[in-house]
Each structure stands twice: as structure tokens, then as C-alpha cells.
């Protein structure tokens, strides 16, 4: 797998600008006690049913568990201050942004010995080159869910989102970075473009497509797919895997024009009151059995080498989850686009306002 190489190529510039901005810890020294509470904020549909109950039982901790459905929702919550969360799961480029904003505190490796289970190819990735703040949780790809009962013809292309036959049966991911991807890739541009003209063209294409869209969603689209209310959805690999278990007409495809791949990471925000407990939880989900249970349940891809023998074969052999090198060449990682973030914001608001 070429994941690390791809990363290094893409991130080499971004990292140079990101280093040097360290988020210092505000937690007092000597806090090595496991506290009785943990406030965990995670993506929706992104954990096994038994993970939290088993942790609570074993460590005698009460976990408050809340969900978000986009990196921007997570960032907004943190920036509003006093979120109370001890543990969050931002994607690669968002770890970069949060580090620069001094929102994270360093992890203490001595409290997370199971880090050795992480495949070396997923350690020291360019958005956090020393794993100072983050440890990979799960990774995956972004593509299209297709209901093969209703959708015919070529389906491995973003163009299908512009096919008027599917008016009202389409959903698109609801955030400014993901939601522009179908248009950027159709136009042959990078998901990390900072070029205003390219972003305007992408905006115009998404505005043209908007009359066909039933909903912009990064969470409820799963239920709409299951029930057959929508037939085509831009979505994430594991989400679609979960849906296909209940509705076998649904398949996941990575469009031939290319897409993006991401790694989500466990991190502790600055100001977290239950830092040691958060580290204990990180160490717990890095265990081979716990990590494999999460992967087997969510259908996402695992960065945990020790978990591999316990992961279901059908998942390991699914090219949507573990793309071939040839497909991988067409996938980009998102990076922090710096000042161009405001352009993405503007384009996305203009699409949504229509
Ligand atoms: C889970 C979403 C996975 C995260 N519903 C996409 N980075």
C-alpha cells in the first residue's frame, strides 16, 4: 500500500508551514489518575456497540458519548470554548488546523503502550509527524453509494450526480470540503485547490446540480439509503458498508475521476479535564480485539496491524475499503488549504443559499 508515500508527497509543503506551532498543555502536572468520567465526541456510526460498555465496565468510568458528522461541526464546537470534551476524532487535515490553533494537548506515550499495534505506515504521518497529538483510529475512502435496483448504466462516475433521471433521489455530503469534491473531480482539479477560478467553476457545477438533490447530509443519508428514499449518495466507505448490510441493493463505488482518502485520529483537546482517562480509552481501543471489533462493525479500514488477523476477510478483501494501488493513485488526501479556507466557505454558502 502506498499510503505513506502518497502522504509524504502531498504533505511535504504543508508540514513545513505547520511545524513550530505547538499546542502546549494546560493540564497540571501530576494528573496521572483515572477519573470517573470521560466525555467522548466522535463521528456518528463510528464505533462498535460493545466498545463503550466494555470500557466503562473494565475501568469503572462513565462515558458521555456525543456525535458529530463533519470536521467543521467539530471545529466549531471546540472553538466555541468549554466544550467539556476529553477525546475527539478529527481527520488528518483537521488535526493540522487544530494544532495550529493550539486546540490540542500532547499525548503521553507512556500511557498509550498499545501504540505499537499501529502499522508503522500509519505512524508519523505528515499532519502530525511525531504523533505528538494524534493516533490513527480508522481510515477510509469517499465515493458513491448506488442502489442497483433503480440506478442503471455507468455508475463509477461523479457525473451520475448530474443525471436528471435521479432528481430527488440524490444526496451530497454536507461540508464545504467534501461537498465540492464531485465538481472538483469532474473538472479534473485537486480537492486541495486554492485557485479561486477553479473553486468558482466547482461552485457553479454544484449549483447546477442542486435541483436534483434531496438532501445535503453526512449522517441521515444512511437511513434514506436503507429505506430506498434516495438511490445515489456521496458517502464514506464504512457508512455504505453498514447500509449495504441492511439493504443489499446498495453498493459502494469509487468514481473513476478520483476522490479523496482520509485518516481519522484520536486526540485530546486542550483543557480536557479527564486526560488520563482519555489516554486509557485510546490505549483500550488500540488493543487488537477492540480495534478489530470496531472495524468489523463499522466497515471502515484499520490502521492497526495487530487487529488484522481478527478482521473479517470479506472486509480485508473489499477494494472499496482497501483500494488497489491503481485506485489509490487517483485518491488525494485533504490538507489544510490555509487562507483559501475562506474561499471554500464562501462557495459552499453560495451553493447552500440557492
Ligand atoms: C462515520 C464517518 C467517518 C468519517 N460516519 C469520515 N472522515
Contact 274, 346 (CB under 8 A): no
Domain presence at residue 330: yes
CB of 174 shorter than 6 A to ligand 1: no
One domain, residues 152 and 38? no
Contact 258, 157 (CB under 8 A): no
One domain, residues 29 and 11? yes
One domain, residues 183 and 273? no
Predicted confidence (pLDDT) at residue 30 exceeds the cutoff of 60: no
Q: Which domain holds residue 199?
A: 140-261+324-353
Query: Ligand 1 centre and the CA of 46: distance in Å?
Result: 7
Q: Are strands 259-269 and 331-333 parallel, antiparallel or unpaired?
A: parallel
Q: Where do the H-state alpha helices sit in the chain?
A: 3-18, 51-59, 71-79, 92-100, 181-186, 196-209, 221-227, 237-246, 275-285, 288-298, 313-316, 325-328, 341-353
The model's pLDDT over 194-211, given as tens digits with 9 standing for 90+, comes to: 999 999 999 999 999 999
Predicted confidence (pLDDT) at residue 130 exceeds the cutoff of 90: yes
Query: Ligand 1 centre and the CA of 236: distance in Å?
Result: 6
CB of 296 shorter than 6 A to ligand 1: no
Query: Ligand 1 centre and the CA of 43: distance in Å?
Result: 6
One domain, residues 191 and 277? no
Averaged pLDDT, 130-152: 97
Domain presence at residue 268: yes
pLDDT for res 19: 34
Percentage of residues of the chain with pLDDT beyond 90: 89
Residue nearest to ligand 1 atom 2, measured at CA: 43
One domain, residues 251 and 290? no
CATH number, domain with residue 36: 3.40.190.10
One domain, residues 52 and 114? yes
Query: Ligand 1 centre and the CA of 275: distance in Å?
Result: 24
Provide the pLDDT confidence category of residue 32 given band limits of 50, 70 and 90: confident
Averaged pLDDT, 54-72: 97
Domain presence at residue 319: no
CB of 86 shorter than 6 A to ligand 1: no
CB of 236 shorter than 6 A to ligand 1: yes
Question: How far apart are the C-alpha atoms of 323 and 49, rounded to whole Å?
Answer: 27
Domain presence at residue 45: yes
Contacts of 32 (CB under 8 A, 6+ apart): 111, 276
Question: How far apart are the C-alpha atoms of 36 and 19, rounded to whole Å?
Answer: 35
Distance from CA of residue 266 to its chain's centroid?
A: 11
Domain presence at residue 238: yes
Averaged pLDDT, 101-106: 96
Instruction: Report the domain count for the chain.
Output: 2
pLDDT for res 24: 39
One domain, residues 254 and 349? yes
One domain, residues 128 and 226? no
Domain presence at residue 185: yes
Provide the pLDDT confidence category of residue 9 given band limits of 50, 70 and 90: very low
Residue nearest to ligand 1 atom 6, measured at CA: 236
One domain, residues 218 and 343? yes
Provide the pLDDT confidence category of residue 8 given band limits of 50, 70 and 90: very low
Contact 169, 317 (CB under 8 A): no
Provide the pLDDT confidence category of residue 82 given band limits of 50, 70 and 90: confident
Domain presence at residue 144: yes
pLDDT for res 6: 47
One domain, residues 160 and 54? no
Predicted confidence (pLDDT) at residue 18 exceeds the cutoff of 50: no
Query: Ligand 1 centre and the CA of 29: distance in Å?
Result: 34
Domain presence at residue 318: no
Q: In whole angstroms, how far apart are CA 226 and each of 19, 48, 108, 268, 330?
A: 44, 19, 42, 34, 28
Predicted confidence (pLDDT) at residue 190 exceeds the cutoff of 70: yes
One domain, residues 190 and 255? yes
One domain, residues 191 and 296? no
Query: In this predicted structure, which of 15-29, 90-104, 234-248 has the lowest mean pLDDT?
Result: 15-29
pLDDT for res 294: 98
Burial class (CB in 10 A: 0-12, 13-18, 19+), 340: middle
What SS3 state is found at 188? Answer: coil
Amino acid at each position: 500500500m502506498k499510503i505513506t508515500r502518497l502522504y509524504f508527497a502531498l504533505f511535504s509543503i504543508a508540514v513545513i508551514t505547520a511545524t513550530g506551532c505547538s499546542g502546549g498543555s494546560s493540564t497540571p502536572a501530576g494528573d496521572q489518575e483515572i477519573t470517573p468520567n470521560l466525555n467522548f465526541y466522535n463521528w456518528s456510526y463510528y464505533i462498535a456497540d460493545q466498545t463503550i460498555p466494555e470500557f466503562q465496565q473494565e475501568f469503572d468510568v462513565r462515558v458521555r458519548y456525543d456525535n458529530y458528522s463533519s470536521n467543521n461541526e467539530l471545529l466549531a464546537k471546540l472553538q466555541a470554548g468549554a466544550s467539556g470534551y476529553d477525546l475527539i476524532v478529527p481527520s488528518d487535515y483537521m488535526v493540522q488546523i487544530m494544532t495550529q490553533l493550539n486546540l490540542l494537548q500532547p499525548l503521553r506515550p507512556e500511557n498509550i503502550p498499545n501504540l505499537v499495534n499501529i502499522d508503522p505506515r500509519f505512524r508519523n504521518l505528515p499532519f502530525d509527524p511525531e504523533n505528538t497529538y494524534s493516533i490513527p483510529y480508522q481510515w477510509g475512502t469517499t465515493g458513491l453509494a448506488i442502489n442497483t435496483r433503480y440506478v442503471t448504466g455507468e455508475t463509477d462516475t461523479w457525473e451520475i450526480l448530474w443525471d436528471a433521471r435521479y432528481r430527488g433521489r440524490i444526496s451530497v455530503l454536507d461540508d464545504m470540503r467534501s461537498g465540492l469534491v464531485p465538481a472538483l473531480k469532474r473538472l479534473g482539479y485537486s480537492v486541495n485547490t486554492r485557485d479561486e477560478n477553479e473553486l468558482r467553476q466547482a461552485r457553479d457545477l454544484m449549483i447546477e446540480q442542486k435541483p436534483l438533490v434531496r438532501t445535503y447530509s453526512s449522517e441521515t443519508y444512511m437511513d434514506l439509503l436503507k429505506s430506498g428514499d434516495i438511490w445515489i449518495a456521496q458517502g464514506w466507505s464504512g457508512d455504505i458498508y453498514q447500509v449495504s448490510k441492511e439493504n443489499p441493493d446498495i453498493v459502494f463505488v469509487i468514481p473513476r475521476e478520483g476522490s479523496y482518502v482520509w485518516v481519522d485520529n484520536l486526540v485530546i483537546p486542550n483543557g480536557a479535564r479527564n486526560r488520563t482517562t482519555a489516554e486509557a480509552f485510546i490505549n483500550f481501543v488500540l488493543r487488537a480485539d477492540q480495534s478489530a471489533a470496531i472495524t468489523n462493525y463499522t466497515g471502515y479500514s484499520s490502521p492497526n496491524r495487530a487487529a488484522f488477523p481478527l478482521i473479517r476477510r470479506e472486509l480485508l478483501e473489499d477494494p472499496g475499503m482497501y483500494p488497489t494501488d491503481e485506485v489509490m493513485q487517483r485518491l488525494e488526501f485533504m490538507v489544510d488549504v490555509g487562507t483559501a479556507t475562506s474561499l471554500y466557505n464562501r462557495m459552499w454558502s453560495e451553493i447552500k443559499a440557492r
